Structure 1
Amino acid sequence: MSSTVTYTVSGMSCGHCEKAINGEVSGLPGVTAVASDAKAGTVTVTAESPLSDEQIAAAVDEAGYELVGRAA
């Protein structure tokens, strides 16, 4: 059963930002889809099984941005 979660990301402002985050997060084990939205400041992650917020935060940090938390 897949899991989809949307997170708020700080510092994302353009298409390059989206690509950087998508590249890092898509490399996590089990991730099947990643959709970043710079205007909304969010990244939506779909994975085969739930990932920890810490795993997502580490990938977003590696891309040079900060995971603020889960989007409402």
Structure 2
Amino acid sequence: MAQKQYTVTGMSCAHCVASVTEEVSEVPGVTEVVVDLAANAVTVHGTGLDDALVRAAIVEAGYGVEEPAAA
């Protein structure tokens, strides 16, 4: 199973965490989404993860995404 981590900008509350989790969970291949609000980090687990689709889901939720951190 692959794992990718992203730094997300603009998150400030539990609603933000729920929005990102919901959008990213809908990306094909994603099996788990872990959002760390304090670190502004989103870790995505799954198979055949498409980086562009994960990034698009974060943007669709209303937040910015920086280059992926080394996992």
TM-score normalised by L of structure 1: 0.89
Q: Please give the alpha-carbon distance, in whole angstroms, between the structure 2 residues aligned to 1:21 and 1:10.
A: 11
Count matched residues. Answer: 70
- Please report how far the alpha carbon of residue 32 of structure 1 lies from its aligned counterpart in structure 2 after TM superposition: 0.4
Alignment correspondent of 1:28: 27
- Please report how far the alpha carbon of residue 28 of structure 1 lies from its aligned counterpart in structure 2 after TM superposition: 0.6
Alignment correspondent of 1:44: 43
Asked whether the 8 Å contact 1:8–1:43 carries over to 2, the reply is: yes
- Aligned residue type for 2:52: E
Q: Please give the alpha-carbon distance, in whole angstroms, between the structure 1 residues aligned to 2:11 and 2:67.
A: 14
Unaligned runs of 5+ in 2: none
RMSD over equivalenced CA pairs, Å: 1.0
Q: Please give the alpha-carbon distance, in whole angstroms, between the structure 2 residues aligned to 1:3 and 1:27.
A: 16
Alignment correspondent of 1:67: 65
Identity of aligned residues (%): 46
Superposition misfits of 4+ residues, deviation over 6 angstroms: none
- Please report how far the alpha carbon of residue 52 of structure 1 lies from its aligned counterpart in structure 2 after TM superposition: 2.9
Q: Please give the alpha-carbon distance, in whole angstroms, between the structure 2 residues aligned to 1:46 and 1:16.
A: 21
